[in-house]
Amino acid sequence: MKIRNLGPLAVSELGYGTMSFANYYGASPERSEAIRVIRSAHERGVTLFDTAESYGPFTNEDLVGEALAPIRDEVVIATKFGWNIDLETGERRPGLNSKPAHVKRAVEGMLRRLRVETIDLLYQHRVDPEVPIEDVAGAVKDLVAEGKVRHFGLSEAAAATIRRAHAVLPVAAIQSEYSLWTRDPEPEILPLCRELGIGFVPWSPLGAGFLTGTVDPGTSHGAGDFRANSPRFTPEAKAANQDLVDLLRRFAEAKGATPAQVALAWLLARAPFIVPIPGTRRLDRVEENLGAASVTLTAGDMDEIEAAASKITVAGARLPQAVLQFSYR
């Protein structure tokens, strides 16, 4: 794969989000299988791997750390702090916690679980309104000076917040949900990234699987699958949103590709500083996703997709309100 830059950080043009190994889509595979898939993604060219302390909590970082330990010097590991998690027990508590002392303690656990001396890219998972972003950036700046963190990122942050953070410590990357059915970053965040030289990392670039064309109104989501409680995955919303899948399928047939590959190729064509991180638990899906790098969408293709997509109204909020309330602050 080609290389793209998240600020000063060079990574593969497609990364790998590992959240799906933390039981968010139902039971995860055996640990040995998860490690095999993660390492196989690297063998196929992936160098950016994304996790978070909240995935588990803690268990996903430990898995990623074990999987990538033999190839540590060949990969970029990104993780995130910011949810209110008891750092001793892993108990989830209400709300957020980006108090500087908490952040610094959280990083010690991350370093241990990830089996690294330095975290390549450390994101604030959500902006904590109780802690000035300057104080958060200052805490990460201290961690950079100590050699425990290389680069700073923000997730689901508002443009004004990004500017304030960037003035204290250069922000390498912004991570927010972005895909053909979630386009919230376009008016302000993407132009700001272009202006400031910040990379942009779309999470859920395949719409939690919906844009792959493998989900239809009759698809059920079992116990432990977050989609069972997602507004966009009600039977009514799935039926209403099939027009987007039909659009992707039409281009996929013309390109000899899959809907998932066209959805990812669309993101890659949006800007050279965009690095999607699709996640999957299956190696065949990893290979399919990476095939998106070989799908070329011309300017004419992009215009045609835009014209068709502009006529489609996406049904359902992208996340439950209990989670959505923490975004773009």
pLDDT of residue 223: 80
Say what the pTM is.
0.98
Q: What is the spatial distance between Cα 226 and Cα 179, in angstroms, rounded to a whole number? A: 18
Structure tokens at 156: 């689901």
Task: Please report whether residue 187 resides in a domain.
Answer: yes
Q: Which domain holds residue 125?
A: 3-210+270-294
Name the phi and psi angles at 119, rounded to 5: -85, 125
Handedness of CA 179, 185, 187, 191 (dihedral sign): negative
Task: Please report whether residue 203 resides in a domain.
Answer: yes
Structure tokens at 203: 């999470």
Q: Assign residue 44 a region: left if phi > 0, alpha if psi is -120 to 50, beta otherwise?
A: alpha
Task: Please report whether residue 231 resides in a domain.
Answer: no
pLDDT of residue 239: 96
Q: What is the spatial distance between Cα 22 and Cα 63, in angstroms, rounded to a whole number? A: 9
Task: Please report whether residue 263 resides in a domain.
Answer: no
Q: What is the spatial distance between Cα 71 and Cα 16, in angstroms, rounded to a whole number? A: 15
Q: What is the spatial distance between Cα 298 and Cα 266, in angstroms, rounded to a whole number? A: 10
Task: Please report whether residue 225 resides in a domain.
Answer: no
Count of domains observed in the chain: 1
Task: Please report whether residue 300 resides in a domain.
Answer: no
Task: Please report whether residue 314 resides in a domain.
Answer: no
Q: State the CATH number of the domain containing residue 279.
A: 3.20.20.100
Residues with catalytic roles: 55
Task: Please report whether residue 247 resides in a domain.
Answer: no
**pLDDT tens digits for the chain (329 residues)?**
999 999 999 999 999 999 999 988 988 999 999 999 999 999 999 999 999 999 999 999 999 999 999 999 999 999 999 999 999 999 999 999 999 999 999 999 999 999 999 999 999 999 999 999 999 999 999 999 999 999 999 999 999 999 999 999 999 999 999 999 999 999 999 999 999 999 999 999 999 999 999 999 999 998 889 999 999 999 999 999 999 999 999 999 999 999 999 999 999 999 999 999 999 999 999 999 999 999 999 999 999 999 999 999 999 999 999 999 999 99
